[in-house]
Amino acid sequence: MSTESTARDRTSPSGMGCLGGAILLGIGLFVFGVGLFVFGIGWIASSIPKFDLIGKTTSLPLMEEYALRGDIHRKDVQTAERVAVIHVATVLVEGLINDAIDQIDMAMSDPLVKAVVVRIDSPGGTLSASEEIHRRLKKLKEGTGKDNLGTPIVMVASIGPIAASGGYYLAMPCNPILAEKSSLTGSIGVFVSFPSVEGLAKQFGFGVTIIKQGEIKDSGSPFRIMSPKEKQVWQDLVDDGYQQFIGVIEEGRPHLKGKLLETMTLKALRAGPTGADGLAEYPRYRADGGLWTARQAKDAGLIDRLGSLDEAIDEAIQKAGLPKDTLVVEYERPGSFLDSVLGRDRRRHDSFLDIPGWEKALSMASSGPRAWCLAPGFELEGLAALAKRSTSRSRSTGVSLSGPTRPRSDRLPSRP
């Protein structure tokens, strides 16, 4: 083969194509590597607390203010009086109520907030978590918080799909209480539950050996039946929480004082052809632990009237003596770098149905007994909320526990 032929082969189109493809592949891999590096740095940066130059943790902005109603471009937007809508939409478990607490703190620290609408969509949760939010709402209303001393504000409750047990507990500082037509509410009661495997243990021949000091130290063990004395000890604990619940309701709704345990006779609706052979009427009392429809709750005096969130906002504006075009705001967490890359935003609250880690829920069954203010049928949500709490990140990261929602473009300009 001649030298001329060899040179021609080296510069053939196929040879140039392979070289060009290799160059493009290399450039592509380089760009991908740089992008992956930037993505990783951003992910890490959004997942850990920020530090200043001397190594101290800096506090991240927990919430941003968005306009729900009103013109955010008006000249006086930074000095205009406003109504704040606080959303509570989660199972009320310690560690999962930080979002609601931060919203309350935002409203409490803003002297321009003259009225608050508490929007509740919760089946309840633990007694202690319910009391924590109730106590903060009461301080906000009375003006006894850290930043609004001596300035009481109007507070109206808006019940969404459900505000039961601990969720209803939260509405007590509010006046009036409005509920949508399809809402469920009430469920005034407290319970403690204990799993029992004594039958299985006897059948399959397994159990535990307990070494204790204290007669009822192992009370509630799933491997044996409680004694009458042990049951009474737990009953007294539940009764104490129940009395606390009753007291909170009677304080918030004085017209119900002494009436929560009164027997009421309800007529069966019998809306369809089935159920005709059931009870024509049946007895209930307001604090029997069961759910009430919005209409039943209104008839029983548990709520004031039926109404939507917009109607609750209008009520708050009117009671506070504000103009109809008053600015109405709500609070959301700022999105992280990862949210921006994925094109998602953060919810302002946690949905109690959006709980990852269901596989860990059963492991929380042994987390110990708790006094629950939880609506009937929501035991699994409470259990899963405990599982979620165990895997959630600390508040110090400034990251919401919730997932994606609609993009928001109505954020108010920051005030000095």
Judged by average pLDDT, the poorest of 58-62, 132-136, 347-351 is 347-351
What pLDDT, on the 0 to 100 scale, is given for residue 113? Answer: 94
Distance of alpha carbon 102 from alpha carbon 87, whole angstroms:
11
Query: If you average pLDDT over every residue of the chain, what do you get?
Result: 77
The per-residue b/e assignment along 373-404, b for 16 or more CB within 10 angstroms, e otherwise, is: bbbeebeebbbbbbbbbeebeeeeebbbbbee
Query: If you search the block for the tokens 């609601």, which residue do you land on?
Result: 100
Dig out the tokens for 189 from the structure: 């009661």
| 46 contacts: CB under 8 Å, gap ≥ 6 | 336, 337, 338, 339, 399
Residues near 144 by beta carbon (within 8 Å), at least 6 away in sequence: none
The pLDDT assigned to 375 comes to 56
pLDDT value of residue 64 = 87
Tell me which residue has tokens 């050996």: 209
Query: For the chain, what are the domain ranges?
Result: 64-190+256-265+284-397
How much is the pLDDT for 347?
Answer: 46
Calpha distance 209→251 (Å, rounded): 47
Handedness of CA 231, 237, 243, 248 (dihedral sign): negative
* 412: Cα separation from own chain's centroid: 24
14 band by pLDDT with thresholds 50, 70 and 90:
low
What is residue 82's predicted lDDT score, i.e. its pLDDT? 95
Q: How far apart are CA 246 and CA 309, in angstroms?
A: 27
Taking residues 375-393, what's their average pLDDT?
56
Per-residue model confidence (pLDDT) at position 196: 78
* Interior angle at CA 114, CA 108 and CA 117, nearest 5: 80
Greater confidence (396 vs 89) lies with: 89
Q: To which CATH superfamily is domain 64-190+256-265+284-397 assigned?
A: 2-enoyl-CoA Hydratase; Chain A, domain 1 (3.90.226.10)
Question: What are 301-315's pLDDT values in tens digits?
Answer: 999 999 999 999 999
User: CA-CA distances (angstroms) from residue 328 to 119, 142, 148, 259, 314?
Assistant: 13, 20, 19, 36, 10
Give the least confident one: 69-73, 139-143, 324-328: 69-73
> Other CB atoms closer than 10 Å to residue 298's CB: what's the count?
18
pLDDT of residue 406: 40
Q: What is the token pair recorded at 325?
A: 């075009």
pLDDT of 398 over the 70 cut: no
Q: What is the pLDDT of residue 81?
A: 94
The count of C-alpha atoms lying within 13 angstroms of the C-alpha of 338, restricted to the half-sphere facing its C-beta, is 13
Looking at per-residue confidence, does 265 or 351 come out higher? 265
Going by pLDDT thresholds of 50, 70 and 90, the confidence category of residue 108 is very high
- 7 residue type, one letter: A
The whole-number pLDDT of residue 271 equals 82
Q: pLDDT-based confidence at 202, cuts 50/70/90?
A: confident
Query: Sorting pLDDT into bands at 50, 70 and 90, what band is 135?
Result: very high
HEC-encoded secondary structure of the chain = CCHHHHHHHHCCHHHHHHHHHHHHHHHHHHHHHHHHHHHHHHHHHHHCCCECCCCCECCCCCCEEEEEECCCCCCCCCCCCEEEEEEECCCECCCCCHHHHHHHHHHHCCCCEEEEEEEEEECEEEHHHHHHHHHHHHHHHHCCCCCCCCCCCEEEEEEEEEEECHHHHCCCCCCCEEECCCCEEECCCCECCCCCCHHHHHHHCCCCCCCCCCCCCCCCCCCCCCCHHHHHHHHHHHHHHHHHHHHHHHHHCHHHCCCCCCEEEEECCCCCCCCCCCCCEEEEECCCCCEEEHHHHHHHCCCCEECCHHHHHHHHHHHCCCCCCCEEEEEECCCCHHHHHCCCCCCCCCCCCCCCCHHHCHHHHHCCCCCEEECCCCHHHHHHHHHHHHHCCCHHHCCCCCCCCCCCCCECCCCC
Give 231-275 pLDDT, tens digit per residue.
999 899 999 999 999 999 999 999 999 999 999 999 988 888 877
Average pLDDT estimate for 46-75:
63
Q: What span, in angstroms and rounded, lies between the C-alpha atoms of 366 and 237?
A: 19
* Digit-coded pLDDT (tens) for 156-184: 999 999 999 999 999 999 999 999 999 99
C-alpha dist (Å) from residue 19 to 9, 12, 14, 236 = 14, 11, 9, 83
Residue 395 has pLDDT above 90, yes or no: no
What is the mean predicted confidence (pLDDT) over 385-404? Answer: 40
More confident residue, 125 or 23: 125
